[in-house]
């Protein structure tokens, strides 16, 4: 039981430190990409990839469903 409490405390400490690190604005890569408007290109590429994967999975599901019905 003590080890479970230690793990929970460790997780809380990690999550709280991540929240504090997210507040910093140190002029990193994200601000560079926003200033050059390249962040929109990155978002467009990611959305295109995710839509392609979604389309592929839906198509594969239809084929598998058709094969199951034929069997």
pLDDT in tens, 30-55: 677 677 778 888 899 999 999 999 99
Instruction: Choose from 15-29, 35-49, 53-67 the range with maximum mean pLDDT.
Output: 53-67
Question: How much is the pTM?
Answer: 0.51
39 Cβ neighbours under 8 A, 6+ residues apart:
30, 33
Per-residue pLDDT at 47: 96
CA distance 71 to 64: 11
Residue 70 clears pLDDT 60, i.e. is over it: yes
Based on its alpha-carbon atoms, the radius of gyration of the chain, rounded to whole angstroms, reads 22
Pick 21 or 64 by higher pLDDT: 64
Q: What share of the chain is helix, strand, coil (3-state, %, to 5)?
A: 85, 0, 15
């Amino acid at each position: 039981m003590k080890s479970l409490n230690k793990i929970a405390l460790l997780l809380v400490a990690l999550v709280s430190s991540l929240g504090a690190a997210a507040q910093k604005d140190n002029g990193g890569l994200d601000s560079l990409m926003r200033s050059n408007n390249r962040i929109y290109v990155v978002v467009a590429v990611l959305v295109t990839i995710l839509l392609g994967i979604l389309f592929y999975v839906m198509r594969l599901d239809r084929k598998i469903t058709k094969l199951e019905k034929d069997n």
